[in-house]
Amino acid sequence: MWGRLQSLLGIVKKKPLYIRSLKEQDIAAVMSIERQMYNYPWSEGIFRDCLNVGYSNWAFIKDDQFIGYAILSVAVGEAHILNICLDPLYKGQGLGQQFLVELIGVAKKKNADSIFLEVRPSNTAAVKLYKKAGFKQIGQRKNYYPAADGKEDAIVLSLDLTVNPA
């Protein structure tokens, strides 16, 4: 009864944790998190380009606070997570896993049969998260990421969405 009354009155209760489309006005928050999390962050221009070219760009919201973002490219049945990041204040709470599950759901809704990503081997928390979600290593890209001592390889991971129930 209360839910119906709320609906009739136009009262909308927001979910405490959800994703929504990333917006131009989110760029400052994106850059704040990006700079905290990466020694070699993407530039503001790269994020603006991602918005302009029509990638699947997502904001992760918890209790009305912007806590993370993801850039997902989807084409011809394949999705590629180009960037996914969570505010360091929210690390270790299982939120990264929830965000990843949401992105997998987006890829499925966009008819992707598989999802790919690259990750630094030194980012052990991320590697563990992806493997827990069912991603499998399918390759390695030599000298892919900038690093203090030159370059760091990338592990290439893939998830088959046709068999994964996530």
Taking phi first (over 0 means left), then psi (-120 to 50 degrees means alpha), and beta for anything else, what does residue 105 get?
Answer: alpha
Of 118, 144, 145, 152, the catalytic one is 118
Select from 39, 59, 36, 37 the least CA-distant residue to 47. Answer: 59
Task: Tell me the backbone φ, ψ of residue 55, rounded to 5 degrees.
Answer: -60, 165
What span, in angstroms and rounded, lies between the C-alpha atoms of 62 and 64?
A: 5
Tokens of 65: 């606070």
Residue 122 β-bridge partners: none
Q: Is 118 a catalytic residue?
A: yes
What span, in angstroms and rounded, lies between the C-alpha atoms of 57 and 165?
A: 23
What span, in angstroms and rounded, lies between the C-alpha atoms of 24 and 29?
A: 10
Of 34, 55, 69, 130, the catalytic one is 130
Active site residues: 118, 130
